[in-house]
Structure 1
Amino acid sequence: MISADDPALRVVVVAYDEAEAASAALARADEWQPGLPAVLRHHLTLPDRTIEEARALLAADGWELRPGGRGAEDGGTELTAVVALRVQELDALHCSQESSRMAGLAQRHGGQVHGWDALQPGPGAAS
């Protein structure tokens, strides 16, 4: 199993355009290794007052909410950039389902989504 903190991880799939299907993002990801675990990261901006509630909701399904990620540049003073991450195998169905879930979470909490990406170890990294 990989760890979200593994320094050998690198971004292998990027899906920052919400109009693009997850299947298309995965199809153009030359370095993605299907069938192997990856760290799936959803980039969100949320109001500070809602971050702990969102963290608790996500933790129930194995997600971790950390500061940072995309959206920091346009979050302003009212929204904080966070990244929801979890280790899992990637496929188009689950990426789409989780994107919808994150969009709903952001909407309910007065935030925004900024897409998702996934990381896997580079070639030759110890697994």
Structure 2
Amino acid sequence: MSLLGRLRDLARKRESPGLTPDAPGLVIVAEAFDPAVADSAVLANSPGWVASAPAVFVHHLSLPPDRVAEAAAILAQDGWELREQGPDGDRVLVHALRVQVLDALHCAQERSRMAGLAQRLGGDALGWDARQPGESPTASA
């Protein structure tokens, strides 16, 4: 791994002590699956999102099965973990996950990056969600 990659990993670890993609009690606090809606609007209209807290940022991608390993290798360079979710017709639904503190600029940049990567590999970027520890809104109802 390059020096820049190690520095990014170190910065990310400082931002997200203790939170992992598999942490218990994670709930979706923001989600963006409509490309016409700005990420800033998504975050502004997400009352459960805590802006100062780290979140598990999850991009939903649909990729050809023979390109999943390539996508995983590319994304791993920036600290993303790729997890297969299951079949999606002739493609595979995958989640790219990373823990970070979210803001509208970084959400938009990563959405664009994921769309470009998926397109280069013959797939689609479906959208993203953000997960933070907390109580599900339906659990209190």
CA distance in 2, matches of 1:63, 1:19: 25
Give 1:61-80 correspondences, 5 Å limit.
61-68=78-85, 75-76=88-89, 78-80=90-92
User: Of residues 48, 71, 83 in structure 2, which corresponds to 1:54?
Assistant: 71
Indicate yes or no: 2:109 matched with 1:92.
no
The code of the aligned residue for 1:6 comes to A
Q: Distance in 2 between matches of 1:54 and 1:34?
A: 29
Post-superposition CA distance 1:9-66 (Å, at most 9, x none):
1100011111110000000001000111000000000001000000000000000000
Quote how far apart the aligned CAs of 1:6 are: 0.7
Pairing partner for 1:106 from 105, 114, 118: 118
What is the CA–CA distance in structure 2 between the aligned matches of 1:60 and 1:113, rounded to whole Å?
19
Q: Which amino acid aligns with 1:122?
A: G
1:88 match: secondary structure: strand
Structure 1 length normalisation: TM-score? 0.90
Moved over 6 A (4+): none
Please give the TM-score of this superposition, normalised by the length of structure 2: 0.81
More helix by share: 2
Work out the percentage of aligned pairs sharing the same amino acid.
Answer: 56
Where do residues 110-121 of structure 1 align in structure 2 (5 Å cutoff)? 110-121=122-133
Superposed CA RMSD: 1.2
How many residues end up aligned between the 2 structures?
118
List runs of 5+ in structure 2 lacking aligned partners: 1-16, 136-141
Amino acid at match of 2:78: D
Q: Which has the larger radius of gyration?
A: 2
